[in-house]
Amino acid sequence: MPTVQTTSIPGDLPRTFASRKELERLLVEEFPSAEGSLSPIRGGRQAAEAKLSQVNPARYAKSRNHLKGAVTGLSPYIRHGVLTLAEVRDAVFQRIRNRNDGSKLINELGWRDFWQRMWLDLGEGIHDDQEEPKTGHAASSYAKELPADVRDGTTGLACMDGFRDELVSTGWLHNHARMWMAAWLVHWRRVHWKAGADWFLEHLIDGDPASNHLSWQWVASTFSHKPYFFNRDNLVRYGGTRHCDDCSSVHRCPFDGSYEQLEGQLFAPMPAIRSTGNGRNRRDGRPGNSSVNRGRSGASAALARPKR
């Protein structure tokens, strides 16, 4: 048994440990079937404040889409209430000289707030397709289960297997990696977004039903006016070539091609529904009124994220 200090609440787990190793040992004992090991992300207010002090809004704005960009890493602390959104906002305002320097980061904090409000509005509805997918494929044609090779990280795609390893071992992924994984699973592997979203929540330390499920639906196009997808150029531009360099599938990369080519491969032709603004042929990212919206209170694709 690890030598740990116990709290005074009967039956409660210890809160103070002599080392991270002891914490890890206790977790293995208490949760023997859990996958992975202790995340390197440290919890607590002290760690949160240390991260907050490193936030650089101007660098964030310039680099946030890059895997190595100056993202804040604050999501676990925000998710668990260690930091409030208002606190992060105030820290941003204190650190900027002009409004533009802070607007990108403030915008993203706004998305967190938006998804929370959508959750309040939709309730358990966030677990259901908000609209029909705009992929030309019936919702029922998507596999319900997460494929074993995805869960195990043995797909042979170095990028996706690498993201999977990072997800399982650290409990955190960069936003772009989340978007790529979600798009690949839904559009290339044709797995229903819910299987992927539930799997993410098994591992994410910042796992939040609203941000997670509604982002998956945004990618899948059940909560946006068109599916999000990407190509290899995009992956390399923001992720570098480190995955491709070691990839056994590099000469049959499913992401190779122009957006037009991939769109033709992945999606079935859909009639343009000009009167509703639905369909992939709308490129302006502006909201339209969806005729297939099943959400309540205007929770439609019209409100979903703009094009990136």
Ligand X SMILES: Cc1cc2nc3c(=O)[nH]c(=O)nc-3n(C[C@H](O)[C@H](O)[C@H](O)COP(=O)(O)OP(=O)(O)OC[C@H]3O[C@@H](n4cnc5c(N)ncnc54)[C@H](O)[C@@H]3O)c2cc1C
278 binds ligand X (CB under 6 A): no
Of 32-71, which residues contact ligand X (CB under 6 A)?
Answer: 64, 71
For residue 226, report the phi and psi dihedrals to the nearest 5 degrees. -160, 155
Contact 294, 304 (CB under 8 A): no
Closest C-alpha to 190, from 94, 132, 264, 266: 266
Contact residue for ligand X among 17, 38, 66, 111 (CB under 6 A): 111
Among 82, 92, 112, 194, binds ligand X (CB under 6 A): 112
Judged by CB under 6 A, the stretch of 38-46, 148-156, 203-211, 266-274 that binds ligand X is 203-211
The verdict on 95 binding ligand X (CB under 6 A) reads: no
Residue 208 in the binding site for ligand X (CB under 6 A): yes
Nearest CB to ligand X, comparing residues 161 and 206: 206
Residue 302: CB minimum distance to ligand X, A: 18
Which of 234, 276 has the CB closer to ligand X?
A: 234
At closest approach, how far in Å is the CB of 210 from ligand X?
A: 8
Q: How far is it, in rounded angstroms, from Cα 204 to Cα 169?
A: 10
Identified binder of ligand X from the candidate list 79, 80, 151, 294, rule CB under 6 A? 79
d(CA 13, CA 5): 10
> In this complex, which beta carbon is closest to ligand X, that of residue 51 or of residue 134?
51
N- to C-terminal Cα separation, the chain: 50
Q: Which stretch binds ligand X (CB under 6 A): 42-50, 159-167, 202-210, 260-268?
A: 202-210
| Per-residue contact string for residues 147-176; x = within reach of ligand X by CB under 6 A | ---------------------------xx-
Among 14, 73, 147, 279, binds ligand X (CB under 6 A): 73
Binding segment (CB under 6 A) for ligand X, from list 9-17, 35-43, 108-116, 283-291 = 108-116
Q: Which of 92, 158, 167, 204 binds ligand X (CB under 6 A)?
A: 204
Q: What is the DSSP string of the chain?
A: ----BPPSSTTPPP-B-SSHHHHHHHHHHH-TT--S---S---SHHHHHHHHHT--HHHHHHHTTSTTS-----HHHHHTTSS-HHHHHHHHHHH-SSHHHHHHHHHHHHHHHHHHHHHHHHGGGGGS-SS--TTSS-GGGSBSSPPHHHHHT-SS-HHHHHHHHHHHHHS---HHHHHHHHHIIIIIS-B-HHHHHHHHHHH-TT--HHHHHHHHHHHHTSSSSS-----HHHHHHHH-SHHHHT-TTGGG-TT-S-HHHHHHHHS-----BTTTTBSTT--S------TT---STT-SGGGSPPP-
Q: Of the candidates 162, 207, 257, 279, which one interacts with ligand X according to CB under 6 A? A: 207
Of residues 23 and 167, the one with the C-beta less far from ligand X = 167
Q: Pick from 72, 221, 293, 300 the residue near ligand X by CB under 6 A.
A: 72
Nearer to ligand X (CB atom), residue 26 or residue 47: 47
Q: Which residues bind ligand X (CB under 6 A)?
A: 64, 71-75, 78-79, 108-109, 111-112, 115, 174-175, 178-179, 182, 200, 204, 206-208, 211-212, 215-216, 219
